[in-house]
């Protein structure tokens, strides 16, 4: 019993880390641009497929794929913000949401056309392929690596936002757009920058997920975006710390849920989302931030 | 006592450390055109917002026509006869002027819930809407969307919407702000006529002292959430405390 | 003058639809039914979206409730299709009342997220409650019983017979939605979309009207779901998935949000375009995404809105 509890925990935390990588970009973009980006899951999916392609067809090393894949997705993010989203900032909310939804449809289909509709078996990573014994059971080394990467990214983001000059500008623009423009921040470029950076984070999550998920499907973007939405909502829209804690929480909840009450799989997640929206729309972990 | 329309008892409200109303006590009499003045940040807008139900007070009571309405929601207060206009014209932008006025008229006539009858074919509603549009001088533009109106006309329309709710007590928040002289004359004449008619009691929040002193029968002066002057325009003009507060600010 | 045109168009459309019912092949019948069912879904949905200004991602749940309602009713209670449809509508409306009660406390993004959360709760229940809903396989092989009205018994087993039942409900829905748009209730909803503060200060309880719009649109979604089940004779939990809620949004947007006929025109274009594109490629959703982008970026009035604008501009020139 004890062993299984530990392993359910570990599985939950490592799953949560992928959600965190997607949710961090999502919440950052919402905080600054005030746009909830459905296509964020597509960045995750694209990151995974591009990394896989580097690996398989171009014969590059996995780690190079993790760098190249997300960078390629940055270009997609740039095009999307610069030529699509920028046209609709002044429109009502439904148009913004639906524009990002249209991008999801297009991205999903393009992936199907390029890589085929079926699932692709994915490779193992040299060096991180084995598993170690933890309380009497095998646990993949790669998952431990992910559990280290997630908090590292969180730490780096925190340092970037709190300690650097860039971070100050981003926070200024997030709290007051007009004010930021008045003191000379080039808001449109900043928006592009934040959006591209958010896309990169999500794609990084996707690329790192390649060895983890074992199978790549076009549905993977949609699955992760729904979880990321829940995380961003319960963490408080726009809060990074909230998103980190939220992702851990959702990862654990899913993991425990499937293990102990499989009949309520998914249901718990959405009930939590609804409850938080109703009674604490500012987020469950709001107040953790400043 | 019988003539009192609205009574405010020990009303207080603070936002953090900023006190915007402190133990306010006053009552408004039926048919007496009252103005509320005070320097910026005196708590005038907050007071209107509390009285009309936009924000809840921290403590105190609001009695309207003998009924405690402190906890009543906005729409209930409006149905009881307490309505307002806003500082920034607050109308239904993409709807025609007819529709703008029809919404409160339907609410008053308790027809708003009906979902199978046609609004346009309801003679009673049309008559009432036309009457109100005529009163604010916008009848000829009945089919124009509100967003196409000039700023001043939009404010007239808003007063029309407020009047259509058949209020007993109507708060106007800076009714002449941003109007040209022609529009200003029209709206002031409207207020005078309606007030003289006696159906509606007006309470006006204004910056323009000319408007205040030419129009009102009673002036209440707010300063930092307190009432520091209350009486006829002449009494208030002579009040030393009021003169002190306004000295160097807006002497007229 | 202008309203006469509308009546003529509606009469022509009904004539064409009746003609299709008598003279068309099964394939055309099937397409026409799909269009009508999607129209019912979208017209009802647009009462909430285009009229009241609330974007819901949860209406697929009401559609699915309607479908499961009919299926379960005909499996366990009675095979009479009208009884099933009534049960489907009632169940959807009741669910909309409960979900709407919570959702209308918020607007904008929070409303959209709340409807998403509740809709997905329904989805996961349908997915997990295997004993009742059949789990991910759903329920299939539901037969259409005959419509018995006391002395009269009408069989609707064949598509060419069922078609007229769909047509009846389509015409009824059109009439109802049209009446709602002309009515005081419809005007109040438009007022809420334009300015909910002013509506409150006109003496109307905004939340209650929002809830009413939510329930009405949920009931139409239930009707569409019920008819959809009878047409396809099966239903899976994916009918309740949030991405299915996007269909009526896209259809309304395509046709024109602020118009009565928008959702109908949108449904016709949606179904036909899909059929057409799928002849050439399997990637219909790709083209659909592109069309959606074009509408959002260039033709926000939708087909109906853009056409009326064009007509107006042309008539001014001449």
Share of chain B above pLDDT 90, in %: 0
d(CA B44, CA B20): 8
What's the confidence (pLDDT) of residue A286?
55
* Touch between chain B and chain A: 3 or more Cβ pairs under 8 Å: no
What letter does residue A234 receive in the DSSP assignment?
Answer: H
Tell me which residue range forms the domain holding B120: 90-165
pLDDT at C39 over 90: yes
C56 pLDDT band, cuts 50/70/90, is: very high
Domain shared by B232 and B247, yes or no: yes
Domain shared by B76 and B173, yes or no: yes
pLDDT at C1 over 70: no
Residue C205 with chain B: CB contacts under 8 Å: 73, 75-76
What's the confidence (pLDDT) of residue B1?
45
Please give the mean pLDDT across all residues of chain A. 81
Domain shared by B156 and B181, yes or no: no
Residue where a domain terminates, one of B165, B198, B228: B165
What confidence tens digit (pLDDT) does each residue in C10-27 have? 889 889 888 888 888 888
Collapsing DSSP states into helix, strand and coil, what is residue C85? Answer: helix
CB B190 within 8 A of CB B85: no
SS3 content of chain C, % helix, strand, coil (to 5): 80, 5, 20
C2 pLDDT band, cuts 50/70/90, is: low
What's the confidence (pLDDT) of residue C90?
95
Domain shared by B121 and B172, yes or no: no
User: Tokens at residue C172, please?
Assistant: 């009824």
B17 pLDDT band, cuts 50/70/90, is: confident
Is C201–B74 a contact, with Cβ atoms under 8 angstroms apart? yes
d(CA B192, CA B215): 7
Chain B touched by C52 (CB under 8 Å): no
Cβ-Cβ contacts under 8 Å for C249 (sequence gap 6 or more): A94, A98, C45, C49, C55
What letter does residue B217 receive in the DSSP assignment?
Answer: S
Please give the mean pLDDT across all residues of chain C. 87
Chain B touched by C172 (CB under 8 Å): no
Is B103–C202 a contact, with Cβ atoms under 8 angstroms apart? yes
pLDDT at C171 over 50: yes
- Domains for chain C: give ranges and CATH numbers: 2-317 (1.10.3470)
Domain of B4, CATH number, reads 3.40.50.300
Domain shared by B77 and B171, yes or no: yes
What's the confidence (pLDDT) of residue C93?
96
d(CA C59, CA C81): 23
Residue where a domain terminates, one of B101, B131, B165: B165
Domain shared by B65 and B34, yes or no: yes
Q: How far is B184 from chain C (nearest CA, A)?
A: 23
What confidence tens digit (pLDDT) does each residue in A78-106 have? 998 888 888 888 888 888 888 888 898 89
What's the confidence (pLDDT) of residue C32?
93
The count of structural domains within chain B is 2
What's the confidence (pLDDT) of residue B252?
44
Cβ-Cβ contacts under 8 Å for A270 (sequence gap 6 or more): A230, C117, C118, C120, C121, C124
Q: Return the minimum-mean-pLDDT range out of A34-43, B102-111, C136-145.
A: C136-145
Buried-state track A177-191, b at ≥16 Cβ within 10 A, e below 16:
beebeeeebeeeebb
CA distances to B42, B59, B68, B252 from B220, in Å:
12, 21, 22, 16
Domain shared by B227 and B106, yes or no: no
What's the confidence (pLDDT) of residue B164?
87
pLDDT at C189 over 90: yes
Return the closest-CA partner of residue C254 out of C217, C287, C291: C291
Which chains does B contact via 3+ CB–CB distances below 8 A?
C
What number is the average pLDDT over the span C295-307? 79
- Total length of chain B: 252
A285 pLDDT band, cuts 50/70/90, is: low
Is C113–A277 a contact, with Cβ atoms under 8 angstroms apart? yes
User: Tokens at residue C170, please?
Assistant: 């389509």
What confidence tens digit (pLDDT) does each residue in C87-122 have? 999 999 999 999 999 999 888 888 988 999 999 999
What number is the average pLDDT over the span B202-207? 85
Of C105, C114, C289, the CB nearest to A106: C289
CA distances to A167, B14, B24 from B49, in Å:
38, 13, 14
Share of chain A above pLDDT 70, in %: 91
Better-predicted residue by pLDDT, A60 or C43? C43
pLDDT at A58 over 80: no
Q: What are the start-end ranges of the E strands in chain A?
A: 120-121, 131-134, 137-140, 215-216
pLDDT at C168 over 90: yes
What's the confidence (pLDDT) of residue C207?
92
Domain shared by B113 and B192, yes or no: no
Domain shared by B135 and B184, yes or no: no
Which chains does A contact via 3+ CB–CB distances below 8 A?
C
Chain B touched by C207 (CB under 8 Å): no
pLDDT at B35 over 50: yes
Domain spans of chain A? Answer: 2-218
What confidence tens digit (pLDDT) does each residue in A223-249 have? 888 888 888 888 887 788 888 888 888
Residue C286 with chain A: CB contacts under 8 Å: 105-106, 109-110, 113
d(CA C168, CA C40): 11
pLDDT at C76 over 60: yes
Give backbone dihedrals phi and psi of C280, rounded to 5 degrees, phi first: -100, -30
What's the confidence (pLDDT) of residue C36?
94
pLDDT at C199 over 80: yes
User: Tokens at residue A290, please?
Assistant: 């400043």
CA distances to A140, A223, B251, C284 from A41, in Å:
25, 8, 62, 20
pLDDT at B115 over 50: yes
pLDDT at B218 over 70: yes
What letter does residue C142 receive in the DSSP assignment?
Answer: P
The residue among A31, A102, A263, A281 with the most chain C CBs within 10 A of its CB, best to mutate, is: A102
Domain shared by B183 and B237, yes or no: yes
Collapsing DSSP states into helix, strand and coil, what is residue B117? Answer: coil
Domain shared by B179 and B159, yes or no: no
Residue where a domain terminates, one of B140, B165, B190: B165
Is B102–C183 a contact, with Cβ atoms under 8 angstroms apart? no
Which chains does C contact via 3+ CB–CB distances below 8 A?
A, B
What number is the average pLDDT over the span A193-221? 83
Domain shared by B131 and B249, yes or no: no
Collapsing DSSP states into helix, strand and coil, what is residue B57? Answer: coil
C79 pLDDT band, cuts 50/70/90, is: confident
CB B9 within 8 A of CB B25: yes
pLDDT at C74 over 70: yes
What's the confidence (pLDDT) of residue B177?
78
Other CB atoms within 10 A of residue C16 CB:
11
d(CA C299, CA A208): 40
Nearest CA in chain A to C114: A274
A144 pLDDT band, cuts 50/70/90, is: confident
CB C220 within 8 A of CB C43: yes
What's the confidence (pLDDT) of residue A126?
67
């Amino acid at each position: 019993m004890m062993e299984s509890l530990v392993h359910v925990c570990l599985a939950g935390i490592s799953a949560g880390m992928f959600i965190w990588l997607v949710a961090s970009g999502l919440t950052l973009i919402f905080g600054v641009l005030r746009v909830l980006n459905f296509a964020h899951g597509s960045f995750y999916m694209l990151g995974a497929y591009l990394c896989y392609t580097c690996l398989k067809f171009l014969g590059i090393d996995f780690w190079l794929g993790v760098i190249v894949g997300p960078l390629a997705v940055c270009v997609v993010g740039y095009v999307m913000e610069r030529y699509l989203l920028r046209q609709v900032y002044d429109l009502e909310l439904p148009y913004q949401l639906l524009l990002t939804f249209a991008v999801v449809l297009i991205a999903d289909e393009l992936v199907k056309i390029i890589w085929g509709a079926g699932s692709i078996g994915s490779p193992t990573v040299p060096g991180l392929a084995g598993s170690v014994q933890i309380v009497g059971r095998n646990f993949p080394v790669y998952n431990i690596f992910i559990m280290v990467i997630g908090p590292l990214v969180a730490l780096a983001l925190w340092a970037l936002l709190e300690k650097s000059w860039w971070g100050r500008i981003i926070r200024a623009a997030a709290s007051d757009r007009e004010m930021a423009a008045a003191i000379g921040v080039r808001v449109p470029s900043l928006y592009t920058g934040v959006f591209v950076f958010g896309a990169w984070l999500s794609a990084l999550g996707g690329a790192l997920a390649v060895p983890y998920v074992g199978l790549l499907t076009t549905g993977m973007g949609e699955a992760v975006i729904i979880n990321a939405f829940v995380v961003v909502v319960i963490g408080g829209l726009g809060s990074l710390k909230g998103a980190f804690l939220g992702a851990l929480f959702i990862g654990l909840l899913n993991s425990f849920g499937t293990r102990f009450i499989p009949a309520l799989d998914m249901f718990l997640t959405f009930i939590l989302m609804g409850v938080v929206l109703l009674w604490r729309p500012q987020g469950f972990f709001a107040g953790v931030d400043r | 006592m019988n003539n009192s329309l609205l009574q405010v008892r020990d009303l207080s409200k603070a936002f953090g450390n900023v006190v915007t109303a402190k133990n306010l006590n006053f009552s408004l009499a039926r048919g007496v055109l009252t103005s509320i003045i005070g320097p910026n940040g005196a708590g005038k807008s907050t007071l209107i917002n509390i009285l009309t139900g936009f924000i809840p007070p921290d403590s105190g009571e609001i009695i309207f026509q003998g009924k405690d309405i402190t906890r009543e929601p906005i729409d209930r207060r409006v149905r009881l006869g307490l309505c307002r206009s806003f500082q920034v014209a607050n109308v239904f932008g993409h709807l025609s002027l007819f529709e703008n006025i029809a919404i409160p008229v339907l609410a008053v006539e308790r027809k708003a819930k009906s979902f199978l009858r046609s609004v346009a074919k309801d003679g009673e509603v049309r008559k009432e809407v036309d009457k109100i549009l005529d009163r604010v001088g916008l009848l000829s533009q009945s089919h124009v969307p509100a967003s196409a109106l000039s700023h001043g006309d939009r404010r007239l329309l808003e007063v029309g919407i407020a009047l259509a709710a058949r209020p007993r007590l109507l708060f106007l928040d800076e009714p002449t702000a941003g109007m040209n002289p022609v529009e200003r004359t029209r709206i002031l004449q409207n207020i005078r006529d309606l007030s003289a008619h006696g159906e509606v009691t007006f309470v006006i929040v204004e910056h323009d002292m000319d408007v205040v002193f030419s129009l009102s029968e009673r002036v209440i002066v707010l300063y930092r959430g307190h009432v520091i002057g209350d009486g006829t325009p002449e009494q208030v003009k002579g009040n030393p405390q009021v003169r002190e507060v306004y000295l160097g600010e807006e002497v007229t | 003058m202008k309203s006469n045109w509308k009546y003529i168009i509606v009469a022509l459309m009904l004539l064409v639809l009746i003609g299709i019912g008598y003279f068309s092949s099964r394939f055309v019948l099937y397409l026409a039914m799909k269009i009508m069912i999607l129209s019912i879904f979208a017209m009802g949905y647009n009462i909430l979206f285009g009229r009241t200004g609330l974007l819901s991602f949860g209406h697929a749940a009401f559609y699915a409730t309607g479908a499961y309602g009919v299926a379960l009713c005909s499996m366990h209670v009675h095979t009479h299709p009208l009884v099933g449809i009534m049960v489907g509508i009632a169940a959807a409306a009741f669910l909309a009342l409960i979900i709407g009660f919570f959702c209308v406390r918020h607007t904008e993004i929070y409303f959209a997220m709340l409807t998403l959360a509740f809709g997905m709760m329904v989805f996961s229940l349908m997915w997990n409650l295997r004993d009742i809903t059949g789990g991910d396989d759903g329920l299939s092989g539901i037969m259409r019983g005959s419509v018995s009205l006391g002395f009269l018994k009408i069989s609707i087993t064949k598509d060419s017979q069922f078609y007229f039942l769909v047509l009846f409900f389509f015409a009824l829905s059109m009439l109802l939605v049209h009446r709602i748009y002309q009515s005081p209730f419809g005007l109040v909803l438009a007022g809420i979309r334009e300015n909910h503060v002013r509506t409150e200060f006109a003496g109307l309880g905004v939340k209650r009207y929002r809830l009413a719009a939510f329930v009405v649109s949920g009931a139409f979604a239930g009707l569409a779901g019920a008819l959809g089940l009878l047409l396809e004779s099966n239903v899976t939990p994916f009918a309740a998935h949030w991405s299915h809620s996007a269909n009526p949004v896209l259809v309304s947007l395509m046709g024109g949000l602020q118009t009565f006929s928008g959702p109908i025109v949108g449904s016709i274009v949606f179904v036909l375009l899909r059929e057409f594109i799928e002849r050439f490629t399997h990637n219909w959703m790709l083209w659909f995404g592109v069309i959606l982008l074009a509408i959002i970026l260039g033709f926000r009035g939708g087909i109906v809105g853009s056409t009326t604008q064009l007509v107006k501009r042309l008539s001014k020139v001449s």
